[in-house]
Amino acid sequence: MAETFKVEPDQLSGFGGATRELGQYVDKITTLIGTEGVPKSGWDGLMSELKGTADGMMVSTRDRYDQRQEAVHMTGDELVTLSREYARTEYHNGARIRETSHPFEHDSPNSQDPVPFGKPFTYGALPDLTAPETIQADLVPIVRERVDWLADADEYIKALVGWSPINDTFLPLIGNWEELNRLGQVYEKSGNGAEAVGRELAGMTKRIEPTWDGAAAQAFAPYADRLSKGLQAEGPVMRTFRLCMGQLVEQIKKMIGTLTDMVITKLAEEVQIDNFSDLLKFLAKKVPGAGTAAQIARLVQILKQVYDEATKLMEQIKKGVELVKDVIEFAKDPAAFVQKKGQEFLAKATEGSAGMKVNPELIKNVTAAVQQAPRIQQAPKDGYWGGDSGTPWGDGR
């Protein structure tokens, strides 16, 4: 594609200065992920199975955003450097520039950023990056109360049917499931921030087009397109993560509430008791050797019914935990995950479970995330470099 060299150095300098500011903002996103995108309190029971996956997501996502930060910031530096080189040369006479006897000698990246002389471009307000609060799940005290209720009776139940309601059912549920919602909020903020940076970078790239052309400008256009699209794709990906976390946590909490209530209610109904002391007295009379065979058989039957129902609900909760792992893996490496099982993930996320309506916002974002995820992989990992050709003011010949 033919082009004619032209440049307004002050405009290019302003573009570079603003781009560098965007890079500084992405650095703040990276810090948010590194400090807040980690498991904090209450990763107990079944939640402990998610901790390693969540830690891995933080490292991968932080590193990915750090690459974006470096690419954006170094691109800003490069644009400022180019503008200063253009300004030092007699850029008003394009012919003389092209006839110059020495090639463009680009400065190597150094520890000090080049100082822009043009007024930085203005851009829209960027999303707030305040860390969300840590919340204690309201189910935790309820589950602990159930544990206390059964504490003295648990060993008797286990002696009869080999099932410990406390160790096999309640304690695995004791985790602070609200932590998943908090992580969802952290990553949503990160994705929204990256998306905004990509959008502003794309807008500023269009703004510079009328004032900058030549080999360097022609090389910059596709680079900026890939970088801005890669940043913008983070938005729907991380919104999908947050929405999926919210939906799954709601489902898991509902199932936990159903399970714990069912165990206590069934036992209370069947043996006509009001508290663990009554249950203990009842069971003490019915343990082998202390009651009739018929009484023991009836109690065992009751407990097995409760155990069977509890087991079914626990399996559903475990399936929910597996879905959480899938969602984390998706956000950890969106492009690779979509390539491997994108359509399966899309179907699971948009179907929902029985009795649970899927959030329309989730359907919209997961669809966009699956479509745009490859752009994250295609985004450049290094900053733009305008001196590759040796003559950034040339006609691209």
* The predicted structure's pLDDT at residue 220: 94
Statement: residue 206 has pLDDT above 50: yes
pTM equals 0.83
- The answer to whether residue 195 sits within a structural domain is yes
- The answer to whether residue 383 sits within a structural domain is no
CB contact at 8 A, 234 and 189: no
Express each pLDDT in 235-272 by its tens digit.
Answer: 999 999 999 899 888 888 888 888 888 887 777 665 55
Q: How many domains does the chain have?
A: 1
Statement: residue 94 has pLDDT above 70: no
- The answer to whether residue 389 sits within a structural domain is no
Residue 6 host element (H or E): strand 6-7
- The answer to whether residue 385 sits within a structural domain is no
Tell me the residue range of the domain where 291 lies: 6-378
* The predicted structure's pLDDT at residue 381: 92
Q: Count other Cβ atoms within 10 Å, centred on residue 333.
A: 19
Q: Which two tokens stand for residue 104?
A: 């463009």
* The predicted structure's pLDDT at residue 353: 56
- The answer to whether residue 393 sits within a structural domain is no
Express each pLDDT in 131-148 by its tens digit.
Answer: 999 888 777 788 888 788
User: Which one of 189-203, 339-353, 354-368 scores highest in mean pLDDT?
Assistant: 189-203
- The answer to whether residue 1 sits within a structural domain is no
- The answer to whether residue 305 sits within a structural domain is yes
Burial 97-115 (b: 16+ CB within 10 A, else e): beeeeeebebeeeeeebbe
Confidence of residue 274 (pLDDT cuts 50, 70, 90): low
- The answer to whether residue 64 sits within a structural domain is yes
